């Protein structure tokens, strides 16, 4: 995985539901108004998000 792919996301941990979110950088402000928006990856493990993002934008778009 190239680290450049991670720059496209803002990562947020929610301690109430114990989930990490990977939010596309261009819509992170919208996320804080509606954390159930489309296009956000969520996982209990941060490394899982890194792995999914590492598979490329086409893959991420197909699962969100």
The domain in which residue 33 lies consists of 3-63
More confident site: 51 or 1:
51
State the Cα angle at 29 between 17 and 49, rounded to 5°.
50
pLDDT tens for 22-61 read 999 999 899 989 878 888 999 999 999 999 988 887 778 7
Q: How many domains does the chain have?
A: 1
**Residue 1: what pLDDT?**
53
Q: What are phi and psi of 43, to 5 degrees?
A: -160, 155
Q: How buried is 6 (Cβ within 10 angstroms: 0-12 exposed, 13-18 middle, 19+ buried)?
A: middle
Q: Which of 5-9, 18-22, 32-36, 59-63 has the lowest mean pLDDT?
A: 59-63
The pTM is what?
Answer: 0.84
């Amino acid at each position: 995985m190239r680290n450049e792919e991670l720059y496209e996301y803002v990562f947020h941990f929610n301690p109430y539901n114990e989930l990490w979110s990977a939010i596309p950088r261009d819509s992170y402000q919208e996320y804080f108004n509606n954390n159930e928006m489309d296009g956000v990856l969520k996982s209990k493990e941060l490394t899982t998000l890194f792995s999914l993002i590492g598979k490329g934008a086409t893959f991420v778009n197909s699962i969100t």
